[in-house]
Every structure is written in structure tokens, then in C-alpha cells.
Amino acid sequence: MGRLKVGVLISGRGSNMAALANACAAPDFPAEIALVLSDIPGAGGLEIAAGRGLATATVDRKAYGSKADFEAAIDAALHGAGVELICLAGFMRVLSADFVGRWHDRILNIHPSLLPAFPGLHTHERALAAGVKVAGCTVHIVRPVVDDGPILLQAAVPVLDGDDAASLAARILAEEHRCYPTALRWMAEGRVRIDGARVRIDGASPAAGALRNPL
């Protein structure tokens, strides 16, 4: 069977895109990146992608009169590249319900919190302000509401006394780079069973024990 063709949508530096590209570089990985698309001209991730020989495209919102036209251009670029699954990787635009519906159960997102806590922007600042002792990241199937949808995988990290938003973000980002390729592999292997809000992964082992912080 062929490898699943993935379109990665970015708006910025693209470290999650690079983590996905690293995973896809293994010959036995069941997915490949068919296109890296940015809504921001000159986004750092575009250069990284091109440097790895990946196809890139820019669809600049400012070049389109309406959101529908903008999304139609994204859709066309993805279909033109043969994309079968979309990975949002720091893509900072909200996709319409129409777009999400056209790609139903075929869009993944990664978010740097333990959703449904702290969706949206300034995630780490809000986690620190709330005083949580554990933070983390979430990979989920995209639904029309921002940072909402069936959860495939979460990783938790401790929040440390000296943390600021940057140090917490860095600790979570390291987990993002592990979680996203894992979730993509599961999707590509057809092991993801979505049942309402709940997802089961065929053959995945449950984690043992708990992360408690502080001890």
C-alpha cells in the first residue's frame, strides 16, 4: 500500500512540521509529506521545508477578497498535491466549518495544552496564571470549534516553580515533537477509531502510573 500523503499547514517557524518531516524520512514510516503550505509569506518553516526537498506553497490571506476564496485556494493546492490528510502545525488561522466539513476526520491539529483547558492563544501564560501544576500538549481531530475535537493523544509535563511562558513552552514543545509523529503514524496505519468525542487507538498501550507534581 502507498504511503499516506500529508499536507502540513504552518504559519511560523515550523518545528512541528520538521518533526513530522523527520518521521516521514524513515523509509518504513507510513506517511509522506506531499506539501507544506503557509498562509504567511516568508514563514520560517517554508525555508526549512524547501531545504529538505519538500514541496512548498504560500496562500496569503491578503491576496484573497474573502475567506471562502482563501480557503478554496488552500483546498486547490492540497488537492493538486494529492493530499489525503492535513496536519495543522502552528497554523494560526481558524478554518471555516465548510472547509472542516470537506475534510471531515482528515485534519489533525496539535495544541500546546491539555485540552479542553486553555484553547486559543496565550496558552502558556494562561496556564501559569491559573496555577496548574501539570501542563502538556494535545493532538486531536479538528472540528469547527477552535482547538476542539476528538483527542488522539496527550502528553503531560510538570509546571516548575521558576517557569515563565517561554520555559514552559519549550518543555511542552519537546513533547509535541514526539506526539505529533506518533499520532500521524496511527492515522496512516488506520488504527484510529473515532466514537463521538472519544478515540480508541488499535494496539496502543495505556500509560502506566501517574504524573504527580510536586512530589
Cα–Cα distance measured from residue 159 to residue 163, given in angstroms and rounded to the nearest whole number: 7
142 touches ligand GAR (CB under 6 A): no
H-assigned helices in the chain: 15-24, 44-51, 67-80, 97-102, 123-130, 165-188
Q: Least distance from C-beta 111 to ligand GAR, angstroms?
A: 5
- Between 106 and 203, whose beta carbon lies closer to ligand GAR? 106
Stretch that binds ligand GAR, among 6-14, 29-37, 151-159, 160-168 (CB under 6 A): 6-14
Q: Rounded to the nearest 10 degrees, how much is the dihedral formed by the CA atoms of 139, 172, 13, 145?
A: 40
Under DSSP, is residue 9 helix (H, G, I), strand (E, B) or coil?
strand
Q: Is 111 an annotated catalytic residue?
A: yes
12 touches ligand GAR (CB under 6 A): yes
The residue written with cell numbers 504559519 in the block is: 11
Q: Which residues of 11-22 are buried (b: 16+ CB within 10 A; e: fewer)?
A: bbebbbbbbbbe
Residues 123, 114 contacting (CB under 8 angstroms):
no
Distance of CA 63 to the CA centre of its chain: 25
- Between 83 and 108, whose beta carbon lies closer to ligand GAR? 108
User: What DSSP designation does 11 have?
Assistant: S
- Between 31 and 115, whose beta carbon lies closer to ligand GAR? 115
Cα–Cα distance measured from residue 108 to residue 96, given in angstroms and rounded to the nearest whole number: 15
Question: Binding residues for ligand GAR, how many (CB under 6 A)?
Answer: 15
| CA geometry: angle 112, 114, 117, nearest 5 deg | 105
User: Which of 79, 104, 111, 124 is the catalytic position?
Assistant: 111
Sketch the per residue contact string, 34 through 53, with ligand GAR: x for CB under 6 A, - otherwise.
-----------x--------
Sketch the per residue contact string, 84 through 123, with ligand GAR: x for CB under 6 A, - otherwise.
-----xx-------------------xxx-----------
176 touches ligand GAR (CB under 6 A): yes
- Between 15 and 56, whose beta carbon lies closer to ligand GAR? 15
Q: Least distance from C-beta 77 to ligand GAR, angstroms?
A: 19
Q: Which residues are identified as catalytic?
A: 111
Site residues for ligand GAR per CB under 6 A: 10, 12-16, 45, 89-90, 110-112, 147, 173, 176
